[in-house]
Amino acid sequence: MLGLNKKDTSLLIVVALLTMLAPFILNPFPEGSAMAQFNAGYPDLMQRFVIFGIFAIGFNILFGLTGYLSFGHAAFLGVGSYSAVWMFKLLSYNVVPAIALSVVVAGLFSLLIGFVSLRRSGIYFSILTLAFAQMSFALAYSVLSNPKFNLTNGETGLQVYADDPQILQGANAPDLPHLFGLPMRSTYTMDLGAWSFDFNAGYYLCAVVLMVVFYLAIRIFRSPFGMMLRAVKSNQQRMNYTGLNSKPYMLAAFVISGMYAGLAGGLMAAMDPLAGAERMQWTASGEVVLMTILGGTGTLIGPVLGAGFIKYFENIFSKINDNVLHSWFSFLPDGLEDAVVFVIHPFIGKGWHLTLGILFMLVVIYLPGGLVEGGQRLRGWFRRKKKGADDAPSGKTEPAE
Q: Which of 280, 321, 314 is nearest to 294 (CA)?
A: 314
Evaluate whether residue 347 is within a structural domain: no
Q: Does 338 fall in a domain?
A: no
Q: What DSSP line would sit under 232-285, residue for residue?
A: HHHHHHHHHHTT---HHHHHHHHHHHHHHHHHHHHHHHHHS-EE-GGGGSHHHH
Strand partners of residue 284: none
Half-sphere exposure of 95 (CA within 13 A, CB side): 27
Output the pLDDT for position 105: 96
Measured distance CA(33)–CA(225) in Å, rounded: 51
Q: In 3-state terms, what secondary structure has residue 94?
A: strand
Residue pLDDT, tens place only, 265-287:
999 999 999 998 888 988 889 99
Say if 344 falls within a structural domain.
Answer: no
Model confidence, pTM? 0.92
* pLDDT at residue 17 in the model: 94
Q: Is residue 342 part of a domain?
A: no
For the chain, the farthest-separated pair of C-alpha atoms sits apart, in whole angstroms, at 98
**By residue range, what is the domain housing residue 191?**
6-30+38-281
Q: Judge contact between 271 and 202, C-beta under 8 A.
A: yes
244 located within any domain:
yes
**Residues 274-321: pLDDT tens digits?**
998 888 988 889 999 999 999 999 999 999 999 999 998 888 888 888
> Half-sphere exposure of 241 toward its Cβ, with a 13 Å CA cutoff?
4
Name the domain count of the chain. 1
Within a domain: 294: no
Write out pLDDT tens, residues 359-380: 888 888 888 888 898 888 888 8
Low-confidence ranges of the chain (pLDDT < 70): 1, 389-401
CA torsion sign for 179, 180, 186, 191 is negative
Instruction: Give per-residue pLDDT as tens, 166-184.
Output: 898 877 788 899 999 899 9
116 found inside a domain: yes
**355 inside domain:** no
